Chains A and B, each alone.
Chain A
Amino acid sequence: AQSVTQLGSHVSVSEGALVLLRCNYSSSVPPYLFWYVQYPNQGLQLLLKYTTGATLVKGINGFEAEFKKSETSFHLTKPSAHMSDAAEYFCAVSVPQGGSEKLVFGKGTKLTVNP
């Protein structure tokens, strides 16, 4: 079964520091991977996605992620954290089912940015 594991339920960084949020996937077929961000009391917003093609994917707000098949990883990075990046981040894999798809999410990583 396809699944996603996010290492670290909480990550704390200083403003201006590198952000690294880890995601490993398990999939028997080529995976389609997504990172979503959830700000407090809001819905989920897509940061970036990997479907096919280039393995380094750039998203919104300066985030990027690299698909590494050999490591079954899709880690999210941002060179310099901003206070506004404080939120919950979810990695997800798209799983086909019955002619549709569902997103299977990791448990989320809460990012705290310290001034």
Chain B
Amino acid sequence: DTAVSQTPKYLVTQMGNDKSIKCEQNLGHDTMYWYKQDSKKFLKIMFSYNNKELIINETVPNRFSPKSPDKAHLNLHINSLELGDSAVYFCASSRRGAIPYEQYFGPGTRLTVT
């Protein structure tokens, strides 16, 4: 009964490769997010989707392409991986309302680019 799940948990790859991270939530939420946590533990939003529509797209290189096939899934595809992409990527989801609801986070995917 995992609320927000991500696969894989660990991803080790070489520079220049293309990789994807998958996220699924079973909470019935209509908004999903991707956050990046760098080596200093700093968390920053990358994208948010609401009902499969891209709402927030922070200043992220266009090598990063999110895709939301349905409300319960939000995947992150990364092209031409660079050393600086090494980080932990968190998926999150929330309900949408007049007052912000809390965001539920997945366990994270630790990406290491060598």
Contacts and interface: CB of A to CB of B under 8 A. Distances in A.
Interface of A: 32, 34, 36, 38, 41-46, 49, 51-52, 88, 90, 94, 96-105, 107-108
Given A51-B100, A103-B45, A108-B42, A98 B105 contact: no
A96 B49 CA distance: 14
A52 to B, nearest CB: 7
Contacts, number: 64
29 contacts: A32-B99, A41-B108, A42-B107, A42-B108, A43-B4, A43-B105, A43-B106, A44-B105, A45-B105, A46-B102, A46-B104, A49-B102, A51-B99, A88-B41, A90-B43, A96-B100, A97-B56, A98-B55, A98-B56, A99-B50, A100-B31, A101-B94, A101-B100, A102-B33, A102-B56, A103-B35, A103-B45, A103-B103, A107-B42
Which size bracket describes the interface of B in this complex?
20 to 34
B90 A105 contact: no
A19 B44 CA distance: 26
Which 7 pairs between the two chains have the least Cβ-Cβ distance?
Answer: A100-B55, A94-B100, A43-B105, A44-B105, A105-B43, A102-B45, A43-B107
Interface in B49-65: 50, 55-56, 58
Given A43-B108, A100-B48, A102-B33, 8 more contacts: A46-B103, A51-B100, A90-B43, A96-B100, A101-B100, A102-B56, A103-B35, A108-B41
A45 to B, nearest CB: 7
A102 B49 CA distance: 11
B102 A43 contact: no
Contacts of A90: 43
Interface string B12-42: 0000000000000000000101010000111
